[in-house]
Structure 1
Amino acid sequence: MTDWQTIRSNDFRVPEGGDVPRLVAELVDMLASPDPETRDELGYSALATWIHEGVVPDDQLRPLGDLMVQRFGSDQVQVRTFAPLVLDVMVATRGVCEPAWVDAFERWYAAESDLRGHDPQLGWLHAVAHGADLLGELGLRPDVPARRMLDLAATRMLAGTPVVWQAQEDDRLAYAVGRVLTRADLSRTDAVGWLDPVADVLAEGRPGPVPAQVSNTLRTLRMLYLVVDRGVRIGPDDVRPAPERDAVLARIAEVLHPASPWAW
């Protein structure tokens, strides 16, 4: 087995004479590990670095992406939730994306039921946050309809769950939606239309404890209001406004109002 701790201490430089395809295969296996250090600190960190720096050859990217897509169907939650992170790095840094990947991601993200942010044994799982990262990146691509990603975000927020997001998943999803809302080709209708099903749910206002998915939705929209109001940071020196900023802010406020009509 490769001494990955030493490789990490050397900033993930490929060891002299290293067989990159064999090493990548090891990293892919490590991504499925139930041990959080093996999976996150070593497997994902090394693979993400190598994708970003071009160590993983171009001809290996699509097979790697296809494998990540297959993992959306795994019966192990950590395998499912680290797949979108790898796809996100490939899309963001190498510009590689296949329509089938988008389809598979959409199906998984809408249906994933294990929404724990962190598990004492498995470590970070972060299905909502990891999926949000990929959603936001896909939503910037001209070949992926912006409205499709916005609708997916609404579906994810509203899906019934007993889990109240506790590890800033709402912030990550709000930021992802904010990124999509910076698309120059996004019409006003689409910029606000994805909120219609959210408005329907929040307007119901049933007595009793707030359902987990409603709490998740409220907090995501409140953060989204802030993100859109302030401008969305796409890069260290790249803060972009949402072209339909005023309409989006007005609609978010309108959608949120029935949940706390006494506040404003």
Structure 2
Amino acid sequence: MNHGLRRIALALGLACGAGPVLAACPPEGQTRDSLLVLRNAKWAIDNVARREALALGLVDCLADPDPALRDEVGFEALQHWMRAGELSPATVKRIGDQLLRRVMPATVAADARGVVAPFAALTLAEVARVDRLTPLYGAAERDAFVIAAASYLAGVRDYRGFDAKDGWRHGVAHGADWAMQLSLNTALDKAQLDRLLAAIAVQVLPPGEHSYIYGEGQRLMAPVFYIAKRGLHDSAFWTIWLSRIVSMATPGEGRAFTAASLARMHNAREFIWPLYASVQETPDATQRERLLPGLKAAVRALP
């Protein structure tokens, strides 16, 4: 394990080198049908101890091959309870610690199906939201959390989005959601936001000939919008940052188009245009002044 990942593991109390141990899903005492019934009942469980025990049991459903158990049950239940404030901070933190193991590179590499890390990242976005509203982490733990989010997002190389058999993977979009929730947290400093921006820049223009078709650009632009709103980066910074993306996305005068260069231009547009529209529509005049010069230049420069 390299020093950066060791720092994450130690700060969050994880066992170095240990992968996640997955239990059965559905959890003990439940069936697929009983969980879907509970979903139809809007996840209403009055008994606090029973609700928290089930929440911890549903963590393993986030890695289930069945997309209904993974998405409609595991994620929806945990998101609902976290957003409703129906899980204790200790339980949310325990869920987060379990899921952080699943975005470590060794776990990602071992998951041929490619569903474990993306749904861990999506749920970690909800943990980040709780931490933003009711702090769970100390400064060192939160820094490790930011490092984990940036490392996961920058490291995604499985660009599968949706298929009828396996449902969603969507690793880039889910990593961007995690980054967005972190970007809204005023406890993050400029260096931490810069780490997120570097990871986002990696995925705006993924390697090879892959073209985004599942809204990844819109999801990637959201944390950039909110990072800019923090006001820790000036207009000159954003103009340079955006110009680098455009420069990497265009083949250059006299160079022939290739499948890879066309994909880069497509992916740059999928990011730049939603960001441009969002900034144009914001009522925040300072936000427009901060971002529009660079965005207008980027729009003009993209073929």
TM bin (shorter chain) = 0.7 to 0.9
SS of equivalent to 1:219: helix
Question: What percent of counterpart residues are identical?
Answer: 26
Matched with 1:249 is: 292
| Partner Cα distance (1:93, 1:70) in 2 | 19
Contact 2:221 2:275 in 1 (8 A): yes
Alignment of 1:229-240 (within 5 A): 229-231=280-282
1:27 aligns with 2:58: yes
| Partner Cα distance (1:12, 1:161) in 2 | 42
Partner of residue 120 from structure 2, selected from 79, 83, 106: 83
Alignment of 1:86-235 (within 5 A): 86-95=123-132, 96-97=136-137, 98-144=142-188, 145=190, 146-205=193-252, 206-211=255-260, 212-231=263-282
| Partner Cα distance (1:104, 1:217) in 2 | 25
CA distances 1:180-201 after superposition (whole Å, capped 9, x unpaired): 2211333334333322431331
Amino acid at match of 1:51: M
| Partner Cα distance (1:247, 1:51) in 2 | 34
Deviation at 1:135, TM superposition (A): 1.3
| Partner Cα distance (2:301, 2:232) in 1 | 31
Q: 1:222 to 1:203 in 2, by over 3 A?
A: same
Amino acid at match of 1:221: I
The structure with the largest helix share of the pair is 2
Matched with 1:42 is: 73
Deviation at 1:102, TM superposition (A): 1.1
Deviation at 1:37, TM superposition (A): 0.5
| Partner Cα distance (1:193, 1:259) in 2 | 15
Paired residues, what number?
A: 252
Contact 2:151 2:199 in 1 (8 A): no
| Partner Cα distance (2:195, 2:161) in 1 | 25
Amino acid at match of 1:84: A
Deviation at 1:87, TM superposition (A): 1.6
Contact 2:201 2:245 in 1 (8 A): yes
CA RMSD of aligned residues (A): 2.3
| Partner Cα distance (1:16, 1:5) in 2 | 19
SS of equivalent to 1:24: helix
| Partner Cα distance (1:131, 1:117) in 2 | 13
| Partner Cα distance (2:277, 2:240) in 1 | 19
Where in structure 1 are there 5+ consecutive unaligned residues? 232-239
Q: 1:192 to 1:150 in 2, by over 3 A?
A: farther
Deviation at 1:72, TM superposition (A): 0.8
Contact 1:136 1:179 in 2 (8 A): yes
Q: 1:165 to 1:199 in 2, by over 3 A?
A: closer
Q: 1:40 to 1:242 in 2, by over 3 A?
A: farther
Deviation at 1:169, TM superposition (A): 1.4
Where in structure 2 are there 5+ consecutive unaligned residues? 1-28
Amino acid at match of 1:28: V
CA distances 1:226-247 after superposition (whole Å, capped 9, x unpaired): 111111xxxxxxxx52634235
CA distances 1:5-61 after superposition (whole Å, capped 9, x unpaired): 221121101165862343123210101011110100011101111112222211122
